[in-house]
């Protein structure tokens, strides 16, 4: 295997957790619920199509302003990388980055086998692998870890601490399973059958039936990156030692990720109030050797064949393990994290595009001066976008060419109010990132194993906190796109351009 890099990063999941590396966008994550909210591009003076004066010719070797290389650069995905870590080369369009999981360490401590290089396919990351070795302890992984695993195939491995934590919590579950006292999720049924005691001989079949009955999604397959993010996030929770699963369950899921085997998860099927039951059940089916999945090249093949080729043994689920695999918000959280990663880039690009539009439409940069923003309306996002737009237009000969003898009072809303809309998106993004970070630090399962070994029912699987911010993020994104469309319309209208 060539091109393998190992880098120890101070990122891990409690109590040993998962780790990953630098993100490279593969394809944008879908923002659910995005609706078009029209923005009226008002012309406050009603100029009626009076043409603007042509700019004076530029005597330099290249145009001024945003096209002269002085525009603010959009920060790359490694902008927030750990300063102590060595920068890793970004995979090219045909590379195959891979992530490793904290508790899965191949014999001898070496990296797990790489997926052979293949031509990239729709929704698949490149095939050259980068390994991230995890060490130490931390409460949770990072958003960058999720993006790395989902989009760049960074291999994952499971730490010894996580393996020990899972074994310890499993011992408590086994003790409950042999107890004469019924325990929900361990020796009872689910839902309406929560009070019914299940005999030991029927419990394996009960776990299998739970997964099969909930793998009821419909519609088109979900994007590969979303499924991988969901699997990685569920794996993070399993490695916390609070779900009561055996280490082999987590190791098998990590092996699926590292082999590039992706379950086919359908778009519709879960309501969110009970977490991502249907999507996670589709993933759990593959662990059991059932369901539908694609290989690293995106080719759908029989699951037993995929597992055999990768040297992965199907798991026979035991008490509590079916619940642990599907009681989570990992699909929602994965989509939110991928959306945040995309929007962070898009909003930076939107600032530069807006500045270029101001220049092209012979607008003024006077509305972007700092005196008009933080002192008068201290929204952080607005201040940032205004500063970026002003910097992008600094030194523009086109803007300077019509500062004199221009009878217009002010520009249209789509130019003048660009920092307010982009800034509103930035502030919304900040809140969404806060919610995502909190959810990343969570350990969601029902019932869950507490520090004192109690198994306690709860309602943490409810997806409301994530669903709210996903819808919230869609609103300013739609407005930003609508305002951009209004500028395009203005440029294409000979009466206003």
pLDDT digits (tens, 9 = 90+) for 178-207: 998 999 889 998 888 888 999 999 999 999
CA 67 vs. chain centroid, Å, equals 32
The residue ranking higher by pLDDT, 220 or 32, is 220
For the entire predicted model, the pTM comes to 0.75
Phi, psi of 355, deg, nearest 5 = -65, -40
Residue 50 has pLDDT above 60, yes or no: no
Euclidean distance between CA atoms 165 and 487, whole angstroms: 56
Residue 419 CA to residue 421 CA, distance in Å, equals: 6
Residue 142: the pLDDT is 93
Q: Is a pLDDT exceeding 70 seen at residue 471?
A: yes
Among candidate residues 154, 184, 421, 474, the one labeled active-site is 184
If you average pLDDT over each of 11-15, 49-53, 198-202, which comes out highest? 198-202
What is the token pair recorded at 265?
């998860």
Q: Inform me whether the pLDDT recorded for 90 exceeds 80.
A: no
Residue 316 clears pLDDT 80, i.e. is over it: yes
Residue 463 has pLDDT above 90, yes or no: yes
What is the band of 20 on the pLDDT scale with cuts at 50, 70, 90? Answer: very low
Tokens representing residue 337 in the block: 């994290």
Q: pLDDT at residue 42 above 50? A: no
- pLDDT tens string 289-302: 999 999 999 999 99
**321 has a pLDDT exceeding 50:** yes
User: For residue range 248-275, what is the model confidence (pLDDT) as tens digits?
Assistant: 999 999 999 999 999 999 999 887 788 8
Helix, strand or coil, per DSSP, at residue 492 = helix
Residue 85, number of CB atoms within 10 A of its CB? 16
| b/e sequence 415-453, b meaning 16+ C-beta within 10 Å | bbbbbbbbbbbbebbeebbebbeebbebbbbbbbbeeee
Whether residue 380 is predicted with pLDDT greater than 90 in this model: the reply is: yes
Residue 77's pLDDT band, with cuts at 50, 70 and 90, is very low
Among 104, 108, 126, smallest CA distance to 19 is for 104
Q: How confident is the model at residue 28 (pLDDT cuts 50, 70, 90)?
A: very low
- Residues 36-41: what's their mean pLDDT? 35
Percentage with pLDDT > 70 across the chain: 72
Where residue 108 falls among pLDDT bands split at 50, 70, 90?
very low
The tens digit of pLDDT for each residue in 122-179 reads 333 333 345 543 332 334 589 999 999 999 999 999 999 999 999 999 999 999 999 9
- CA gap 467, 475 in Å, rounded: 13
Residue 82's pLDDT band (cuts 50, 70, 90): very low
Mean pLDDT of 71-98: 36
> Over 70: is that where the pLDDT of 363 sits?
yes
- Give the residue among 429, 447, 445 at the shortest CA–CA distance from 382: 429
% of residues, the chain, pLDDT over 90? 65
Closest CA to 451 of 169, 98, 203, 188: 169
pLDDT surpasses 90 at 41: no
**pLDDT tens figures, 330-345:** 999 999 999 999 999 9
Phi, psi at 218, each rounded to 5°: -135, 170
For the cut 60, the answer to whether the pLDDT of residue 101 exceeds it is no
**Among this protein's residues, is 413 annotated catalytic?**
no
Residue 194's pLDDT is 85
Q: In the chain, how long is the greatest CA-to-CA distance?
A: 91
For residues 331 and 230, is the Cβ–Cβ distance under 8 A? Answer: yes
Q: What is the pLDDT of residue 140?
A: 54
Phi-psi region of 230 (alpha: psi -120 to 50; beta: other; left: phi over 0): alpha
- Mean pLDDT of the chain, nearest integer: 78
Does the pLDDT at position 80 exceed 80?
A: no
pLDDT at res. 155 = 95
* Poorest-pLDDT segment among 32-36, 79-83, 164-168: 32-36
Nearest to 271 by CA among 459, 465, 467, 30: 467
């Amino acid at each position: 295997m060539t091109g393998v890099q190992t880098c120890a990063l101070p990122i891990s999941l409690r109590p040993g957790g998962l780790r990953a590396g630098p993100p490279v966008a593969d394809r944008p994550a879908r923002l659910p619920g995005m609706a078009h909210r029209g923005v009226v591009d008002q012309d406050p003076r009603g100029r009626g199509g009076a043409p603007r004066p042509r700019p004076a010719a530029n005597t330099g070797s290249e145009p001024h302003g945003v096209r002269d290389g002085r525009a603010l650069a959009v920060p790359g995905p490694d902008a927030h990388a750990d300063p102590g870590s060595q920068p890793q080369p970004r995979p090219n369009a045909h590379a195959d980055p891979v992530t490793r999981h904290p508790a899965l360490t191949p014999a001898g401590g070496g990296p797990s086998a790489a997926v052979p290089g293949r031509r990239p396919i729709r929704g698949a990351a490149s095939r050259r692998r980068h390994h991230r070795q995890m060490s130490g302890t931390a409460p949770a992984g990072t958003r960058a870890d999720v993006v790395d695993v989902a989009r760049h195939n960074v291999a994952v491995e499971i730490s010894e601490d996580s393996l020990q934590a899972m074994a310890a919590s499993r011992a408590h579950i086994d003790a409950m399973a042999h107890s004469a006292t019924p325990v929900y999720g361990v020796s009872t049924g689910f839902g309406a059958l929560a009070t019914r005691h299940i005999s030991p001989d029927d419990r394996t079949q009960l776990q299998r039936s739970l997964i099969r009955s909930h793998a009821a999604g419909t519609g088109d397959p979900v994007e590969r990156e979303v499924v991988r993010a969901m699997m990685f996030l569920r794996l993070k929770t399993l490695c916390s030692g609070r779900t009561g699963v055996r280490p082999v369950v987590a190791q098998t899921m990590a092996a699926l990720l590292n082999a590039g085997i992706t379950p086919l998860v359908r778009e519709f099927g879960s309501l969110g109030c009970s977490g991502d039951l249907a999507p996670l059940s589709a993933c759990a089916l593959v662990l059991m050797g059932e369901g539908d999945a694609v290989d690293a090249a995106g080719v759908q093949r029989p699951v037993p064949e995929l597992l055999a080729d990768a040297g992965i043994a199907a798991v026979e689920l035991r008490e509590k393990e079916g619940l642990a695999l599907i009681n989570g918000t990992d699909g929602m959280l994965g989509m939110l994290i991928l959306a945040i990663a995309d929007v962070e880039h898009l909003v930076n690009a939107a600032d530069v595009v807006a500045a270029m539009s101001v220049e092209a439409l012979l607008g003024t940069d006077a509305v972007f001066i700092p005196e008009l923003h933080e002192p008068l309306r201290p929204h952080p996002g607005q201040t940032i976008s205004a500063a970026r737009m002003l910097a992008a237009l600094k030194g523009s000969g086109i803007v300077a060419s019509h500062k004199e003898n221009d009878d217009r009072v002010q520009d249209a809303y789509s130019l003048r109010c660009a920092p307010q809309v982009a800034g509103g998106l930035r502030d919304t993004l900040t809140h969404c990132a806060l919610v995502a970070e909190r959810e990343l630090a969570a350990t969601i399962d029902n019932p869950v194993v507490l520090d004192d070994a109690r198994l306690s029912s709860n309602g943490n699987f409810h997806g409301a906190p994530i669903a709210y911010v996903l819808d919230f993020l869609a609103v300013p994104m739609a407005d930003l796109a609508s305002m951009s469309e209004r500028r395009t319309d203005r440029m294409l209208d000979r009466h206003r351009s």
